[in-house]
């Protein structure tokens, strides 16, 4: 099944118009070897504006790094406006991690380290964005960004624009097929690449993206008697994560001072 070309054209034109409106010269994106960054990078490349693809490894699994580099190589063969840099952030991350005090709660420590990886990459993206007057292109899809908040606040959530944030994960896969993205990326299990044990997104979340999309459409069900036990579990997972991560998806709260107190 092919994704409508008119949607691709719409996103590409949206990117071009946004860059033009704010007088930005191009885009920078972190390429992870996953489906979302692959699709987003092609959409940015199609604008014909300069695109810088960054491979930012931090103790990265070899299969993730090779997929990212293979995609960038393929992308550069298709579009002459694409440049790339490979930057190892492992030493910087290790220095940061080793300077922190000992923590007894290892689960929370690992989560904090995973988030720190994402934030270090965000800093790197904005370094090159500033140097080149580029926009940082986000790679989050609708399920992650507006369903369950599955991203790092001020990490991969720290971007200038979100080209695919109105697309469900299934739509991203259809778009990838239409755009001809290399097979190894289309077939890879989704992962954020922030953990040392190579865990997938489904391992972390407890549900597949297909299940989460179903939950997004049905999370307001009142009567759970007529659905399976698994669907009931997925609804619970979705609702819990949506509530837990609401602070990421809402604007930063501002303390409004009553005029009479000023």
- Model confidence pLDDT, tens digit, residues 93-149: 999 999 999 999 999 999 999 999 999 999 999 999 999 999 999 999 999 999 999
- Strand segments, DSSP code E, in 78-221 are 82-88, 134-136
Q: Of the CATH numbers 3.30.479.10, 3.40.50.2300, 3.20.20.70, 3.40.50.620, which one belongs to the domain with range 5-198?
A: 3.40.50.620
Assess whether pLDDT exceeds 70 at residue 164: yes
Measured in whole angstroms, the distance separating CA 111 from the mean position of its chain's CA atoms is 17
Work out the pLDDT band at 204, boundaries 50, 70, 90. very high
C-alpha angle with apex 244: 240 to 247, nearest 5 degrees?
A: 145
pLDDT digits (tens, 9 = 90+) for 149-163: 999 999 999 999 999
CB 196 within 8 A of CB 116: no
Higher pLDDT, 57 or 197: 57
Mean pLDDT across 175-181: 96
> What pLDDT is attached to residue 222?
58
For the beta carbon of residue 6, count every other beta carbon within 10 angstroms. 8
User: How many C-alpha atoms does 54 have within 13 Å on its Cβ side?
Assistant: 24
Length of the chain: 262
* CB count in 10 Å sphere of residue 41: 28
pLDDT at 180: 95
Cα 149 to Cα 100, 144, 146, 246, distances in angstroms: 27, 5, 6, 7
The pLDDT of residue 168 is above 90: yes
Local confidence band at 219 (pLDDT 50, 70, 90 cut-offs): confident
Residue 221 in this model has a pLDDT that exceeds 70: no
């Amino acid at each position: 099944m092919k994704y409508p070309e008119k949607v691709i054209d719409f996103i590409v034109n949206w990117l071009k118009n946004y860059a033009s409106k704010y007088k930005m010269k191009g885009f920078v994106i972190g390429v992870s070897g996953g489906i979302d960054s692959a699709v987003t990078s092609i959409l940015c490349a199609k604008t014909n504006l300069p695109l810088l693809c960054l491979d930012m490894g931090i103790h990265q699994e070899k299969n993730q790094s090779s997929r990212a580099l293979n995609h960038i190589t393929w992308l550069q063969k298709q579009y002459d406006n694409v440049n790339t840099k490979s930057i190892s952030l492992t030493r910087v991350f290790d220095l940061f991690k080793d300077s922190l005090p000992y923590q007894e709660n290892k689960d929370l420590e690992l989560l904090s380290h995973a988030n720190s990886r994402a934030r270090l990459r965000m800093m790197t993206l904005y370094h090159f964005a500033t140097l080149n007057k580029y926009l940082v292109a986000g790679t989050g899809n609708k399920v992650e960004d507006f369903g369950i908040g599955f991203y790092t606040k001020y990490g991969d959530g720290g971007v200038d624009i979100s080209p695919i944030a109105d697309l469900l994960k299934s739509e991203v896969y259809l778009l990838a097929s239409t755009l001809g993205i290399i097979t190894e990326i289309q077939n890879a299990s989704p992962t954020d690449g922030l953990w040392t044990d190579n865990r997938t997104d489904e391992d972390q979340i407890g549900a597949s993206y297909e299940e989460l999309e179903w939950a997004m459409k049905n999370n307001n069900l009142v009567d759970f008697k007529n659905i399976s036990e698994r669907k009931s579990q997925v609804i619970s997972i979705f609702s819990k994560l949506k509530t837990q991560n609401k602070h990421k998806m809402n604007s930063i709260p501002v303390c409004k001072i009553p005029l009479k107190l000023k």
